[in-house]
Structure 1
Amino acid sequence: MPSKIKDSQNPRLLAVVTLAKIKNGAYSNLQLNQVIRQHNLKPVDKGLLTTLVYGTIQYRLLLEYWLTPFVKGKKLEPWVRELLLTALFQWHKLNKIPKHAIFNETIEVAKTLGNAGTAKFVTAILHNMDRSELRDADKISDPIMRLSISYSIPVWLVQSLLDQVGPAKTQSILSSLNEAPAQAVRVNTTRATADQAKAALEAEGLTVRDSKVARDALVVTGGHVASSQAFLDGLITIQDESAMLPVEALAIDDQVHSVLDAAAAPGGKTTQIAQYLTGDAKVTAIDIHDHKVKLIKANANRLGLADKVKAEALDARQVPDHYQEDFDRILVDAPCSGLGLLRRKPEIRYEKTLEDVLNLADLQLAILNSVAGRLAQDGRLVYSTCTILNQENDGVIKKFLAKNPNFELVKTETAKDLKSDRKDAVLKIYPDDYETDGFFVATLQKRRD
Structure 2
Amino acid sequence: MSGGDNGRSAGKGSSPSGKAPHGNRRHPGGRGGSRPQAEAPKRKSVTPRELALNILVKVAESGAYSNIQLNRSLQDSGLSRQDAGLATELVYGTISRQATLDHWLSKFVAKGLHKLDKWVHQLLRMSAYQLLFLDRIPTHAAVNEAVAIAKRRGHTGISGMVNGVLRSMDRSRAELVLSAIQEKTPVATIALRHSYPEWLVARWVAAYGAETAEAICAAGNEQPHASIRVNTVLAGRDERLQELRDQGAHAEASAIAPSGIVVSGGGNLADTDAFRQGLWSLQDESSMLVAEVVAPKPGMKVLDCCAAPGGKSSHMAELMEGKGKVWANDLHAHKRELITAQTERLKLRNVEAVVGDALALPERFAPESMDAVLLDAPCSGFGVIRRKPEIKWTKTEGDITEIAALQRQLLERVSGLVRPGGTLVYSTCTMEREENERQIEAFLGEHPEFRLDADWPEAILRSLQSAGVVGDDFDGQLQLLPQHFGSDGFYIARMVKVR
TM-score (norm 1): 0.91
The equivalent position to 1:29 in structure 2, one of 67, 82, 86, is 67
Contact 1:208 1:218 in 2 (8 A): yes
Structure 2 gap ranges (5+):
1-41, 466-470
Q: Which residue of 1 aligns with 2:101?
A: 63
Question: Which SS does the other structure have where 2:291 is aligned?
Answer: helix
Q: Which residue of 2 aligns with 1:231?
A: 275
**Structure 1 residue 239 displacement after superposition:** 0.6
Task: Quickly say closer, same or farther: Cα 1:404–1:424, change in 2 above 3 A.
Answer: same
**Structure 1 residue 135 displacement after superposition:** 6.8
**Structure 1 residue 430 displacement after superposition:** 0.5
Q: Which residue of 2 aligns with 1:106?
A: 146
What whole-Å deviation, never above 9, does each CA across 1:15-72 have from its counterpart, x for those lacking one? 1122223332222223323333333333322322222121111111101112234151
Q: Determine if the alignment matches structure 1 residue 323 to structure 2 residue 360.
A: no
Task: Quickly say closer, same or farther: Cα 1:40–1:143, change in 2 above 3 A.
Answer: same
Worse overlay, 370-379 or 29-38? 29-38
Contact 1:65 1:135 in 2 (8 A): no
Worse overlay, 147-156 or 110-119? 110-119
Aligned partner letter, 1:22 = V
Q: Determine if the alignment matches structure 1 residue 54 to structure 2 residue 97.
A: no
Contact 2:113 2:121 in 1 (8 A): no
Q: Which residue of 2 aligns with 1:12?
A: 49
Q: Which residue of 2 aligns with 1:332?
A: 375
Task: Quickly say closer, same or farther: Cα 1:444–1:233, change in 2 above 3 A.
Answer: same
Contact 2:102 2:125 in 1 (8 A): yes
Worse overlay, 166-175 or 262-271? 166-175
Q: Which residue of 2 aligns with 1:240?
A: 284
Question: Which SS does the other structure have where 2:460 is aligned?
Answer: coil
Aligned pairs for 1:160-239 within 5 A: 160-202=203-245, 205-222=248-265, 223-239=267-283
The equivalent position to 1:38 in structure 2, one of 76, 87, 90, is 76
**Structure 1 residue 447 displacement after superposition:** 0.8
Q: Which residue of 1 aligns with 2:347?
A: 304
What whole-Å deviation, never above 9, does each CA across 1:272-331 have from its counterpart, x for those lacking one? 1121224541110111111222222222222222x2211121111111122126111110
**Structure 1 residue 233 displacement after superposition:** 2.9
Contact 1:197 1:230 in 2 (8 A): no
The equivalent position to 2:190 in structure 1, one of 134, 142, 147, is 147
Q: Which residue of 2 aligns with 1:445?
A: 496
Q: C-alpha distance in 2, partners of 1:33/1:200? A: 27
Q: C-alpha distance in 2, partners of 1:189/1:40? A: 36
Contact 2:328 2:353 in 1 (8 A): yes
Contact 2:90 2:129 in 1 (8 A): yes
Task: Quickly say closer, same or farther: Cα 1:99–1:422, change in 2 above 3 A.
Answer: farther
Q: Which residue of 2 aligns with 1:404?
A: 447
The equivalent position to 2:122 in structure 1, one of 64, 71, 82, is 82
Q: C-alpha distance in 1, partners of 2:478/2:72? A: 34
Aligned partner letter, 2:269 = V
Q: C-alpha distance in 1, partners of 2:113/2:239? A: 58
The equivalent position to 2:166 in structure 1, one of 112, 126, 129, is 126
Q: Which residue of 1 aligns with 2:37?
A: none
Task: Quickly say closer, same or farther: Cα 1:132–1:92, change in 2 above 3 A.
Answer: closer
What whole-Å deviation, never above 9, does each CA across 1:149-200 have from its counterpart, x for those lacking one? 1101111111111111112211222222211111111112233432443355
Question: Which SS does the other structure have where 1:141 is aligned?
Answer: coil
Q: Determine if the alignment matches structure 1 residue 253 to structure 2 residue 309.
A: no
Task: Quickly say closer, same or farther: Cα 1:196–1:60, change in 2 above 3 A.
Answer: same
Aligned partner letter, 2:297 = D
Task: Quickly say closer, same or farther: Cα 1:197–1:110, change in 2 above 3 A.
Answer: farther
Q: C-alpha distance in 2, partners of 1:370/1:351? A: 29
Contact 1:282 1:308 in 2 (8 A): yes
**Structure 1 residue 116 displacement after superposition:** 5.2
Aligned partner letter, 1:243 = S
Task: Quickly say closer, same or farther: Cα 1:300–1:128, change in 2 above 3 A.
Answer: same
Q: C-alpha distance in 2, partners of 1:121/1:294? A: 49
Aligned partner letter, 1:99 = T
The equivalent position to 1:431 in structure 2, one of 482, 487, 490, is 482
Task: Quickly say closer, same or farther: Cα 1:101–1:33, change in 2 above 3 A.
Answer: same
**Structure 1 residue 262 displacement after superposition:** 0.5
Identity %: 38
**Structure 1 residue 251 displacement after superposition:** 1.4
Q: Which residue of 2 aligns with 1:363?
A: 406
Q: Which residue of 2 aligns with 1:419?
A: 464
Aligned partner letter, 1:419 = L
Structure 1 gap ranges (5+):
none
Q: Which residue of 1 aligns with 2:29?
A: none
Contact 1:393 1:440 in 2 (8 A): yes
Aligned partner letter, 2:131 = W
Q: C-alpha distance in 1, partners of 2:86/2:322? A: 47
What whole-Å deviation, never above 9, does each CA across 1:389-411 have from its counterpart, x for those lacking one? 11000111011111111111111
Q: C-alpha distance in 1, partners of 2:142/2:429? A: 36
Q: Which residue of 2 aligns with 1:386?
A: 429
Q: Which residue of 2 aligns with 1:263?
A: 306
Aligned partner letter, 1:17 = N
Q: C-alpha distance in 2, partners of 1:216/1:44? A: 30
